[in-house]
Structure 1
């Protein structure tokens, strides 16, 4: 079993003191004070998951509503045996009921939002709201612990009587102290209270002038506090009413206490749950403070702690270390200078193991793994001590003997300066023997030592490995970095040289060391150099990999955006094309309807001709996703002119030239669409015959000439309508009785607009489509009145 001494050596209690700073109530405090490491994997994993859920709530909501929770178990027990609870005890019960109800609602709302909190959700299921008891207490007692007048009708009546009696007493006493005859007899013109009765301060020599009762006197005896005879009876009545008030209050408190007793079981369950909840969130808040994570847990003795940090050392000072144990090797022997961080490594390994087994998250990086141990043993002395004697050695040996009696394959053993305090040769031999014995029992070992003999220990043991704490010779200080696989080497010569010791002395000292020792030191130096170089290369490789991952993600995101934008553009283009098709079909229906009207009037169009016309119009709709084909202009020797009817080959669509943009490009109108088209994509279909020129008329009273026809082809709709209006006025002034408005066939929009305008013009007698020899549907004949 885990021992209290080990917890003290590993500063487990100091860690709990940090944890206590995050509890919200005495309930959580009690849970933290009773906290001990567990050994069953199911219990540990459940505790770790509960801490994870608390951390999730804090991450998403910032905090949990745990205010107002009190440890009311003692009060509830007293109510169960019939005791009367006081006002503050009842207020604590009401506050705790409210706190539990509010937290229950808080978690249930998060679960409704599909946030997974299985442990917390299961806990709050057992919280009973007890709203009736909460309401009854709040209706009877205010926030300051005073019983309210509304607690009962009797209490309200009694307090009204108290106010009435108090008013009578004060009125009589005020008349006494305001009397000019009494002013000289009083020490002060005030009304005060002694023994719950109203009195006035009277000078000693006038004590008999007022009669009544003396209740108190001043320290000097010069003033007596007298209850005048005139108010004695009223004060007596007031005292009786106050006794009734006290009795009524006790009655109310007894009734509330009985209500508490009726639901005592539910209250005890609520308190137990809220204590667990407070403890969970204390763990989560502590994890946030020390930047802790949830490690993967096993029970096979494997440890892989990445960027491990001691929770009691400031974030600014700590140097993270990596510790791996239990896979290729079960023992780590750490060598290096004093104050280099060897003991911190031991304590970090042990304390984080105890924290993990207590259900706490631990300060290390994601992806770390830790093992559960049935026992954690530690023999850690004062790492700063340089005066070791027999008694110190004996003390350590007593601890080691106790460890050897209990250690097994489910143990983690931490030895600090193993074998120190005695002859170096004997101490080193003992250290090797002890390490071998513990290793053979299957335990996991982390040990520190100064003995150079132990540097070779790991090379002769397949399950052991050397490690060291790095020392910077340039600054003559440790870096606190742990180097796994590299034993510590002596820095005495390098340090002495840096401090200015004569070079000859250093060389003579080196000559005293055996060749074998020099080889070992050189080998260690080479290992350190190789390790540093490997770490630099690994760090660079990690950076390159991260950069590659970032670029890959950026490219993936950009490609996804490109594909999405492409789909949107295609969709928009198809939508516009479909809208154009629908518009063309509507226009076709309009034209056919007009043809039917003409058929009825002149019987010049056959039904089968209408069907053929509609089919041709449907076939004229633009086709999507067709490749462009190069075309040539029919009658290439002719220059394309505005008004020419052409075919746009790439769209297989007819239209007419609106304007010439350049020698290689024209603006073409196809239905309602105007677009720029290259000359190679156009094919001339027809050129409208020029209207026979007639003598131009002159507007009366002016030199402006007006033609008998108006050509609107290629005009925008709004501009065309303005031109028609002005032209009709000019033609009337010129004396024309009949004119032509050439609007072309196109989409029919201009023709419809012209016809609509002519219908509303006051001087137009009639309008009709021109004959086939005069332009047909592309020309409208106007007759004036």
Structure 2
């Protein structure tokens, strides 16, 4: 990707913003090496992983990445048998904890709809060693402190050290509190010199106190003496402390050996954790910018819906719709200074770079972007005193370089094309440059003040005019981009609003080519018609919305009526069935009675005949 374009489009500011979202130096390395790709499948996959991270952050609120450290060199040292210090071992335990926590929290469950294949493929590849993690945390309290629970031997040694300390202090207390020694002592205190307990003795009584002199005061009036009665006890304490240190070294060596056995897995985890930190940094940036994953197309066009420049405050930025590559391949934007032309083309270039870097863009859903083989941009005042280049010369040097490298799959962005020289020649050069880019088949977006380029865009197939809107009433730009409408300079209208004499304005018009004045008038009429059409469109949309609301209400009422009708019919059928069943039961009973009576009558007749 063209390095100069990355600079002038201020891609580095996006990188700086992304860096603030990383949780570790491992993630920062990925961000520092991030460059736009021109591989379609690679771009698609990196956008998908950003979308997964964004979705997880929205669903979970927070994914903790704190505790990731760069431990590769420590793991390698442990692998070759080196003993690691407590701080290094704690960092390894932290990395194991983060790996275990991420793997558990991102594996999902049957109860929860949690399916993020790209990120879960990374987390599933993480190695977890809970036993080693717990052993390190149990054994080490801080970067320079080993816990008593590290081993039974260490606990026993430390208990004996405490007991020996108490014994020595008790012995020394009895010495400094005795009436015999009090006159020899400078102060009734117990002091330490090195790791030996001593008492402060007045120099003139040196011969009266039996012991080893370890130090003296700066004035020489006080000697710090270790009484002979505690020399052996101090030796024993010293021996216990050496035993303690030896046991600590043994514990650290044992823990380091455990780490050495899994060093390859730890290094593998490092790569995955760094990647995950980077992916979630992209997700955090997407959430912050309220960005979306653009629809990626292979047809070399973009259609940005309500795109917002990512470096402008959300409260101030004006969203714009910008499209290029379908109906036309070149877009010429005109309009007054400070109207937003440069911001617009920078937004386009930055969106292309962000998309091809796997970053979401601050726009509305439905936005479509493509993958260019290269993005070229010539923006801003590139005047160089060191190289004795004027603004025009510098722009031309850059333009020549662009025209040499441009292909049919490139995007070219020009700001104030042809500016800085004679207007007639500059306009002619600008048209020729656009023609050359067009012949190469590249997509191009350019800003200009030249009326000739407006005419060129009106007459040339594949080239379209656009303008940044300007409110003459308030003498201020609205920063809205209007595609299909060439910009109007508005110089005379602005002058009139600023109460410039009518005579001066009319004289100025006389010095302008009549055709240019007519074109300006046509543009003004087009603008008026556009505003009127826009008002009518908004009114039509409002009416359409009202109609849709009324229709929705009617449909809801009809649904309720039909539901009620079904209930009534169902109830009526149920009642009818019940009545019919009762009538059938009654008729069956009557028939039974009749048959019974008939049987009885027949029996009586029979008896009569027999008689």
How many Å separate the matches in 1 of 2:397 and 2:186? 80
The match for 1:146 is 145
SS at match of 2:401: helix
RMSD: 3.3
Residue 192 of structure 1, CA deviation = 4.3
Residue by residue over 1:236-255, the C-alpha shift from the partner in whole angstroms, topping out at 9 and shown as x without a partner, is: 22222212211211111111
What are the residue-to-residue correspondences of 1:391-402 with 2, within 5 Å? 391-402=390-401
Task: Check conservation: 1:338, 1:384, Cα contact below 8 A.
Answer: no
How many Å separate the matches in 1 of 2:205 and 2:476? 89
Residue 262 of structure 1, CA deviation = 1.3
How many Å separate the matches in 1 of 2:223 and 2:7? 65
Residue by residue over 1:343-368, the C-alpha shift from the partner in whole angstroms, topping out at 9 and shown as x without a partner, is: 11111001111111111110011111
Change (3 A) 1:140 1:514: same
Residue by residue over 1:518-543, the C-alpha shift from the partner in whole angstroms, topping out at 9 and shown as x without a partner, is: 01111111222222233333333334
Change (3 A) 1:5 1:150: same
Residue by residue over 1:716-736, the C-alpha shift from the partner in whole angstroms, topping out at 9 and shown as x without a partner, is: xxxxxxxxxxxxxxxxxxxxx
The match for 1:51 is 50
What are the residue-to-residue correspondences of 1:598-637 with 2, within 5 Å? 608-609=592-593
How many Å separate the matches in 1 of 2:524 and 2:203? 100
Task: Check conservation: 1:82, 1:258, Cα contact below 8 A.
Answer: yes
How many Å separate the matches in 2 of 1:97 and 1:610? 93
The match for 2:404 is 405
Task: Check conservation: 1:91, 1:145, Cα contact below 8 A.
Answer: no
The match for 1:718 is none
Task: Check conservation: 2:342, 2:447, Cα contact below 8 A.
Answer: yes
What are the residue-to-residue correspondences of 1:562-711 with 2, within 5 Å? 608-609=592-593
Whether 1:364 aligns to 2:348 is: no
SS at match of 1:319: coil
Change (3 A) 1:552 1:190: farther
The match for 1:532 is 531
SS at match of 1:465: strand
How many Å separate the matches in 2 of 1:205 and 1:572? 121
The match for 2:608 is none
Residue 159 of structure 1, CA deviation = 1.5
Q: Which has the higher helix share?
A: 2
The match for 1:270 is 269
Residue 610 of structure 1, CA deviation = 9.8
SS at match of 1:122: helix
Task: Check conservation: 2:49, 2:118, Cα contact below 8 A.
Answer: yes
Task: Check conservation: 1:343, 1:383, Cα contact below 8 A.
Answer: no
Residue by residue over 1:46-90, the C-alpha shift from the partner in whole angstroms, topping out at 9 and shown as x without a partner, is: 111111112222222222243333332222122122221221222
Task: Check conservation: 1:338, 1:383, Cα contact below 8 A.
Answer: no
How many Å separate the matches in 2 of 1:557 and 1:416? 54
The match for 2:304 is 305
The match for 1:76 is 75
SS at match of 1:109: coil
SS at match of 1:420: coil
The match for 1:131 is 130
Change (3 A) 1:183 1:25: farther
Residue 326 of structure 1, CA deviation = 0.3
Change (3 A) 1:215 1:374: farther
Residue 308 of structure 1, CA deviation = 0.5
Task: Check conservation: 2:108, 2:114, Cα contact below 8 A.
Answer: no
Whether 1:104 aligns to 2:80 is: no
Residue 199 of structure 1, CA deviation = 3.8
Task: Check conservation: 2:381, 2:391, Cα contact below 8 A.
Answer: no
SS at match of 2:366: coil
Residue by residue over 1:221-269, the C-alpha shift from the partner in whole angstroms, topping out at 9 and shown as x without a partner, is: 6665544443333222222221221121111111111111211222222
Change (3 A) 1:10 1:230: farther
Mark the structure with the bigger radius of gyration.
Answer: 1
Whether 1:459 aligns to 2:443 is: no
How many Å separate the matches in 2 of 1:297 and 1:213? 85
Whether 1:281 aligns to 2:280 is: yes
How many Å separate the matches in 1 of 2:221 and 2:562? 102
How many Å separate the matches in 1 of 2:49 and 2:575? 57
Task: Check conservation: 2:382, 2:395, Cα contact below 8 A.
Answer: no
How many Å separate the matches in 1 of 2:282 and 2:556? 38
Residue 510 of structure 1, CA deviation = 1.5
How many Å separate the matches in 1 of 2:75 and 2:396? 52
Task: Check conservation: 2:382, 2:391, Cα contact below 8 A.
Answer: no
The match for 1:168 is 167
Residue 151 of structure 1, CA deviation = 1.8
Task: Check conservation: 2:53, 2:283, Cα contact below 8 A.
Answer: yes
Task: Check conservation: 1:336, 1:450, Cα contact below 8 A.
Answer: yes
Q: Could you tell me the TM-score, scaled by structure 2's length?
A: 0.88
The match for 1:429 is 428
How many Å separate the matches in 2 of 1:193 and 1:220? 18
Residue 607 of structure 1, CA deviation = 12
The match for 1:339 is 338
Change (3 A) 1:244 1:11: same
Task: Check conservation: 2:383, 2:390, Cα contact below 8 A.
Answer: no
Residue by residue over 1:106-148, the C-alpha shift from the partner in whole angstroms, topping out at 9 and shown as x without a partner, is: 2222466233322222222212222222232233223666322
Task: Check conservation: 1:139, 1:151, Cα contact below 8 A.
Answer: yes
Task: Check conservation: 1:390, 1:422, Cα contact below 8 A.
Answer: no
Residue by residue over 1:324-381, the C-alpha shift from the partner in whole angstroms, topping out at 9 and shown as x without a partner, is: 1001111111122222111111110011111111111100111111111010111111
The match for 1:40 is 39
Change (3 A) 1:238 1:511: same
Task: Check conservation: 1:111, 1:117, Cα contact below 8 A.
Answer: no
The match for 1:497 is 496
Residue 287 of structure 1, CA deviation = 0.9
Q: Could you tell me the TM-score, scaled by structure 1's length?
A: 0.69
Change (3 A) 1:390 1:520: farther
Whether 1:470 aligns to 2:469 is: yes
The match for 1:196 is 195
The match for 2:21 is 22
Q: Which has the higher contact order (CA 8 A, sep 6+)?
A: 2
Moved more, 566-575 or 254-263: 566-575
Residue 301 of structure 1, CA deviation = 1.4
Moved more, 391-400 or 542-551: 542-551
How many Å separate the matches in 1 of 2:208 and 2:559? 105
Residue 413 of structure 1, CA deviation = 0.8
Structure 1, unpaired ranges of 5+: 593-605, 614-785
Task: Check conservation: 1:335, 1:449, Cα contact below 8 A.
Answer: yes
The aligned length equals: 591
Structure 2, unpaired ranges of 5+: 598-611
Moved more, 206-215 or 481-490: 206-215
Residue 315 of structure 1, CA deviation = 0.5
How many Å separate the matches in 1 of 2:28 and 2:360? 18
Residue 208 of structure 1, CA deviation = 5.8
Change (3 A) 1:497 1:571: same
Residue by residue over 1:738-763, the C-alpha shift from the partner in whole angstroms, topping out at 9 and shown as x without a partner, is: xxxxxxxxxxxxxxxxxxxxxxxxxx
The match for 2:443 is 444
